[in-house]
Amino acid sequence: MITSDQGSIATLIQNKIATITFSHPASNSFPSELLQKLTVELKTLSTNQEVTIIVLQSEGKTFCSGASFDELLSVTNLEQGTKFFSGFADVINSMRTCSKIIIGKVQGKAVGGGVGLIAACDIAFAYQDASIKLSEIAIGIGPFVIEPAVSRKIGKTAMAEMALQPTTWQTADWAVAKGLYADLFDSMDEVHDAVLHLSEKLASYNEEALSEMKKVFWEGTDKWGTLLYERAAISGKLVLSDFTKLALSQFKK
């Protein structure tokens, strides 16, 4: 386990399945340090010969509340802002280029970057309470870094519907209809069973075939290696605005 006051990343490997569990006391938000640790863990598992499948999950009632507001408020220049949002670019790119199939296991709400994490999974199962929201426009920035991953899953039209209604929660039923989730379940026990069944089944298949299929899934995304960092610079600039500073302070209150 990698843990600090900035949250934790824990990985359990059993029967060729690596389960990554992330947590943070502020509704599983992501400060830079935790983003970096998740990126390193994903890259390590990508080359681990003892792992065929990765399950990504979080602790608690909220799946992920996105970027750390505390850290966003502490940004004072473009370099800091770009570096922070590049952390989400790093994670999404590491999920995209990971040689292992990644299964998302979702409970509770996901906001902003949390929606991006779900979209970057190869397949995701969720509990009925797993509603989603892209709140970035309301605080003066935008879901620039995660947009390619989210649009790839749900399409530009649904992406616009979310991005331009930043205070509206889209239900889990809406998310499954748009393709973000593969299926919904009435209890977390059922979600757990579904993820376990699929991961065990996949882990019994030809690892090379799975790896090649992963490449097929992500064809046409090579430009993300530069695009997501260009998007990070846009967010890094906008987070310095008076509008965003005031909005973040009000959100914290």
Structure tokens, 183: 């299926």
What b/e readout covers 90-121, taking b as 16+ CB neighbours within 10 angstroms? Answer: bbbbbbbbbbbbbbbbbbbbbbbbbbbbbbbb
CB 230 within 8 A of CB 223: no
Residue 2 — pLDDT band, cuts 50, 70, 90? low
Q: Which of 107, 148, 157 is nearest to 128 (CA)?
A: 107
CATH code assigned to 2-189:
3.90.226.10
Q: pLDDT tens digits for 40-96?
A: 999 999 999 999 999 999 999 999 999 888 888 889 999 999 999 999 999 999 999
Domain ranges for the chain:
2-189
Question: Concatenated DSSP letters for 48-68?
Answer: -TT-SEEEEEESSS-SB--B-
Contact 41, 20 (CB under 8 A): yes
Per residue in 108-165, pLDDT tens? 999 999 999 999 999 999 999 999 999 999 999 999 999 999 999 999 999 999 999 9
Q: What DSSP string runs through 168-201?
A: PPBPHHHHHHHTS-SEEESSHHHHHHHHHHHHHH
* Sole residue written with tokens 């376990």: 196
CB 143 within 8 A of CB 161: no
Per-residue tokens: 198: 């699929």
Report how far residue 46's alpha carbon sits from residue 36's, in angstroms, rounded to the nearest whole number. 15
Q: For the whole prediction, is pTM greater than 0.85?
A: yes
| 175-229 residue pLDDT tens | 999 999 999 999 999 999 999 999 999 999 999 999 999 999 999 999 999 999 9
Distance CA 75, CA 83 (A): 10
